[in-house]
Amino acid sequence: MKPGSAAPTRGERGGRKVSKSGECCPRWVTGRPWRVLGLIGLALLLAEPGKAASQTAEAKTLRIVFQTPEASFDPGSVSDEVSISVTENIIEPLLRSDYLARPAKLVPNTAEGLPEVSADGLSYTFRLRKGIFFTPDPAFKGKPRELVAADYAYSIRRHFDPKLKSPSLWLFAGKIAGADATREAALKTGRYDYDAPVAGLETPERHSLRIRLARPDRNFAQVFAMAVTGALAREVVEHYGQDIGGHPVGTGPFVLKEYRRGNKIVLEANPHFRELRFAAETNPDPERQAIARRLHGQRLPRVQRVEVAIIEEPQSRWLAFLNGEIDVLPLPRDLAELAHRNGKLSPELAAKGVRLQAHPVPNVYFFFFNMDDPVVGGYTPEKIALRRAIALAYDTDEAIRQLFKGEAIPAQQIIPADVYGHDPKAQLKATRFNPAEARALLDRFGYRDRDGDGYRELPDGKPMVLERASVTSTEARQADEFWKRSMDAIGIRLSFRKDKLPELRKLHRAGKIQLMSEGWNADYPDGENFMQLLYGPNAGQENAARFKLPEFDRLYEDTRNLPDSLERLGKFRRMTELVIAYAPWRLTHHLTEHDLVQPWVTNYLKHSFQASSWIYADIDAAKRRGKP
């Protein structure tokens, strides 16, 4: 998941881009204007105020807020946190992450069990639960439609269709035997043949899916707990065509009831959802133990309705929460000091029964350079020197103080803590700040101010103006000002390209962004999930920098096949060293995230590898009625 161009907000992931952030990420993150201050309760938008307030107080409605707008509810297209959060509640993958288990653990979802893996690690067989049905839709012509293995095979194939431009193709490309050939044929003919045989995708029985890999992949099962591998029915996709992203039809716990693009999303409990009751292993954490006791044996989902508001400005989100119009608030960094000091909730909020939840989210934030760009891209010494100078001019510690209000820590490695491949002893100086060294480096490689206007020209004497892509939020504007001061200090003229985050991400996937801040939230707890962001064949997908270095690519391919070992850890470290040396990225920080939770919300916890917890959350209607 990824973000945009100011101080990062909470957001998209990648990886469940980081992210999901106004400035960048965690499956990628940033905003949309919100026009009416104080207008938050989505149920109040269409009803008489008194009547709507009464109905909302009585109903089991979970009210959620995001800063950035959704892009699509098509599993083949999603990569931001909002889209993934909604999609995973409608369209189901085969597996899911256990809600309370730490460390993370895969459990069956629509599959009967975990996949059967052959001794050589090349064959995965999933057996689906029988009797799971899609929600009724005109595409099914009035007939019940059971979920079958062919739906998953079809949905996987969609990622290979060039017309879809799937940001998640990297999860499958080069892995499933014969699948890449179907994409290559489509690139030649202009049409993807969904009926052409693929050796590595078989449905030997109606409820059995067998996937044959071209080579072993130690993390392959993790892919099938991600929203992007949820099952769509082919007839639904063909029925809605290019508008499939606005008509999600699945087998999940919720259905899309109401939708205004970029403004309002309402989900209701799926009346056709199978009987699913909560079960979890014991957990030593007291909070998780309490949730397990409350949920044990309970039917899911617990709420009847989820209302999602898109509100860009932090102050507006804060006021909405204080007014009881939002149930869970990802804490805006600008307002963190109003809510807590060093993790201790303010007396005012504590008196209301509000809870502060701190949750470790494995993420990394960075700014990237387009390695294909004629000014900042390239692998020659003078290009590397320019990128390194810009990196040296960025003061991470000051950015954390000014832009993130202390709610972050400097990033010294690509792989964050609690993810395999992180080296707690590594001292790589990835966020070194030295503007004097930056100026000397620029002078040495010919980037000098030849006309005396205070700004440097290119080595050939031509004007040099860098363009940083950035979103339109208040946080982004603050980051723009920080960047302008940083670049002025070393004599580099900087301009800004402003747009909505989904549009900026389309542009950087097309190679049309020169410089931008981004971030990534882990999809699964392995360093490969982060290193794929710089893997050459992923350029145009999640490799936003379009970095292509043969040594890095070989190391990445090695780590996909090696077992956990000192050798594998060493390769991860070498990959980080190469990124610091060639500087397609400059690492900045890891965000620390906090949520404020209203006292009438129970069972809610942020999950490290699952975008939402809506199916588990519950509402105490009596407490809600008694709110101030």
Q: Is residue 231 part of a domain?
A: yes
Q: Is residue 406 part of a domain?
A: no
pLDDT-derived band at 392, boundaries 50, 70, 90: very high
| pLDDT score, position 417 | 87
pLDDT-derived band at 461, boundaries 50, 70, 90: very high
| pLDDT score, position 358 | 84
pLDDT-derived band at 7, boundaries 50, 70, 90: very low
Least confident of 117-131, 330-344, 522-536, 573-587: 330-344
Residue 464 has pLDDT above 60, yes or no: yes
Distance of alpha carbon 204 from alpha carbon 125, whole angstroms:
10
Least confident of 29-38, 211-220, 237-246, 432-441: 29-38
pLDDT-derived band at 404, boundaries 50, 70, 90: confident
Average pLDDT over residues 461-489: 95
**Do residues 240 and 247 lie in contact, with contact meaning Cβ atoms separated by under 8 Å?**
yes
Least confident of 63-72, 248-257, 358-367, 574-583: 358-367
Of the two residues 57 and 589, the one the predictor is more confident about is: 589
Average pLDDT over residues 407-420: 90
Domain containing 163 equals 95-242
Angle at which helices 435-444 and 381-392 cross, to 10°:
160
State the distance between the two ends of the chain, measured CA to CA, in whole angstroms. Answer: 37
Angle at which helices 566-582 and 381-392 cross, to 10°:
90
Three-state DSSP class for 376? coil
**pLDDT tens per residue across span 285-313:** 888 899 999 999 999 999 999 999 999 88
| pLDDT score, position 59 | 67
Amino acid identity of residue 52, one-letter, is: A
Residue 44 has pLDDT above 60, yes or no: no
pLDDT-derived band at 22, boundaries 50, 70, 90: very low
Enumerate the β-bridge partners of residue 201: 211
Q: Is residue 204 part of a domain?
A: yes
pLDDT-derived band at 360, boundaries 50, 70, 90: low
| pLDDT score, position 333 | 77
Q: Is residue 278 part of a domain?
A: no
Tokens in use for 542?
Answer: 């999640």
Residue 56 has pLDDT above 80, yes or no: no
Residue 32 has pLDDT above 60, yes or no: no
Q: Is residue 127 part of a domain?
A: yes
Of the two residues 263 and 116, the one the predictor is more confident about is: 116
Enumerate the β-bridge partners of residue 618: 602
Of the two residues 615 and 625, the one the predictor is more confident about is: 615
Q: State phi, psi for 567 to the nearest 5 degrees.
A: -65, -45
Q: Is residue 130 part of a domain?
A: yes
pLDDT-derived band at 524, boundaries 50, 70, 90: confident
**pLDDT tens per residue across span 120-176:** 999 999 999 999 999 999 999 999 999 999 999 999 999 999 999 999 999 999 999
**Do residues 499 and 6 lie in contact, with contact meaning Cβ atoms separated by under 8 Å?**
no
Average pLDDT over residues 467-476: 91
Listed ranges 36-50, 357-371, 577-591, 614-628; the one with the highest mean pLDDT: 577-591
Query: If residue 468 lies in a helix (H) or strand (E), which one and from where to where?
Result: strand 465-470
Average pLDDT over residues 221-232: 96
Q: Find, among 247, 265, 232, the residue nearest to 138 by Cα.
A: 247
**Do residues 81 and 20 lie in contact, with contact meaning Cβ atoms separated by under 8 Å?**
yes
**pLDDT tens per residue across span 274-283:** 999 998 776 7
- Nearby residues of 213 by Cβ (< 8 Å), 6 or more positions away: 121, 122, 123, 124, 175, 176, 177, 200, 220
Percent of the chain with pLDDT over 70: 90
Residue 6 has pLDDT above 70, yes or no: no
| pLDDT score, position 593 | 85
| pLDDT score, position 407 | 83
Average pLDDT over residues 12-30: 38
Distance of alpha carbon 486 from alpha carbon 478, whole angstroms:
13
Residue 457 has pLDDT above 90, yes or no: yes
Tokens in use for 54?
Answer: 């009464």
Tokens in use for 387?
Answer: 């990128």
Domain count, the chain: 1
| pLDDT score, position 439 | 98
**pLDDT tens per residue across span 75-90:** 999 988 899 999 999 9
Residue 33 has pLDDT above 90, yes or no: no
**pLDDT tens per residue across span 418-432:** 899 999 888 788 899
CATH of the domain at 213: 3.90.76.10
Dihedral of the alpha carbons of 17, 217, 117, 106, in degrees to the nearest 10: -30
Least confident of 1-15, 254-268, 557-571: 1-15
pLDDT-derived band at 514, boundaries 50, 70, 90: very high
Average pLDDT over residues 325-332: 93
pTM of structure: 0.78
| pLDDT score, position 426 | 83
Average pLDDT over residues 330-339: 85
Residue 556 has pLDDT above 70, yes or no: yes
Residue 229 has pLDDT above 80, yes or no: yes
| pLDDT score, position 475 | 85
| pLDDT score, position 351 | 94
Q: Is residue 180 part of a domain?
A: yes
* Residue 337: HSE in the Cβ half-sphere, 13 Å Cα cutoff: 6
Q: Is residue 623 part of a domain?
A: no
Average pLDDT, the chain: 89
